[in-house]
Amino acid sequence: MAFRLFNKTTFSSIYQKDMIPASKEIVELILSYLKKKTDGQPLEMALDVGCGAGRYTIPLAPHFKKVLGTDISESIINVAKQYNSADNVSYMVAPAEKMPLKDASVDLVTAGLAAHWFNLEKFASEAIRVLKTKGCLAMHGIYPATDFVYTDMSHDLNLVMSEVWDVLHQHDDKKVTRYLFNQYQEIFEALPLKDKEWITNVPETTQMSILDIMGFIRSSYMYQTFLEEDAIKAETFFTRTEQKFLKVLGEEADSAVLNVHMKYFCVLACKS
């Protein structure tokens, strides 16, 4: 399955280097929800499940005494330790379905860009077990589409990226993609907590160069799956895509910084 890619050292390094930064909007949304539910009480412990390279683990550090990031991939945990460390942050190899913490010991359980890979029933059960009363669970992801804005070239740039998405989706995990396209609606509906919220279409704008965009494509599990299935075709697709972007931008290719509009979504819940 595609999630095995995250066990590869090469992919872990690419993911750390090229994946887009953590969404400030989503981090603020989660922390605001948690503080509202906990009445502003001091926060002891956060658990970031499926933490990957720690991109969403580190933003939690200023708000908790301790933060633990867990992931099933040893290679990506090693990358997290190397690039996203803090005095109160630790990392551990552990599956999402078996959290290495005591009952009622955690204020916040998060899963950023990861819950769609889990056994959701077991993950939810474990999250509820480790959460304190009034503790919160937050799961979020990115809608698999982009909108580029750059002078009068936006339309042509978006046509190129539309072709990219068409190719990448030929190499996706259909179950994962379904969760992303419905913005975790199924996950929200199945979550066995009464106090919960489902927030969709959270806008975020990231500034990216063509180099950044090509890195984002390279860091997607869909492209990496394509690469495993047929390296020559995947590399040819990658090179031609870059050439198409450069052709659209012409002389501005080296200096162009595009506004890339994305949509995030989030499921929030509180343990009564």
223 class by beta-carbon count within 10 Å (0-12 exposed, 13-18 middle, 19+ buried): buried
- Taking the C-alpha atoms of residue 65 and residue 253, their distance in angstroms, rounded to an integer, is 45
What is the pLDDT at residue 5? Answer: 66
- Taking the C-alpha atoms of residue 189 and residue 174, their distance in angstroms, rounded to an integer, is 19
Of the candidate CATH numbers 3.30.360.10, 3.30.420.240, 3.30.70.260, 3.40.50.150, the domain formed by 2-270 belongs to 3.40.50.150
Would you list the domain boundaries of the chain?
Answer: 2-270
- Examine the pLDDT at 255 and tell me if it is beyond 50: yes
H or E segment at 173? none
Identify each DSSP E strand in the chain by its residue range: 45-49, 66-71, 89-93, 106-112, 131-142, 147-149, 195-208, 258-270
Write down the mean pLDDT value for the chain: 95
- 247 residue type, one letter: K
236/12: higher pLDDT: 236
Neighbours of 267 (CB within 10 A): 24
Model confidence at 3, pLDDT cuts 50, 70, 90, reads low
Taking the alpha carbons at both ends of the chain, their separation in whole angstroms is: 36
Mean pLDDT, range 88-106, rounded to an integer? 97
**Per-residue model confidence as pLDDT tens digits over 54-89:** 999 999 999 999 999 999 999 999 999 999 999 999
Q: What is the DSSP string of 211-260?
A: HHHHHHHHTSHHHHHHHHH-HHHHHHHHHHHHHHHHHHHGGGTTT--EEE
State pTM to two decimals: 0.94
- 3-class DSSP state of 262: strand
- 3-class DSSP state of 109: strand
Percentage of residues in the chain having pLDDT higher than 90: 91
**Per-residue model confidence as pLDDT tens digits over 7-37:** 677 888 888 889 899 999 999 999 999 999 9
**Residues present in the chain in total:** 272
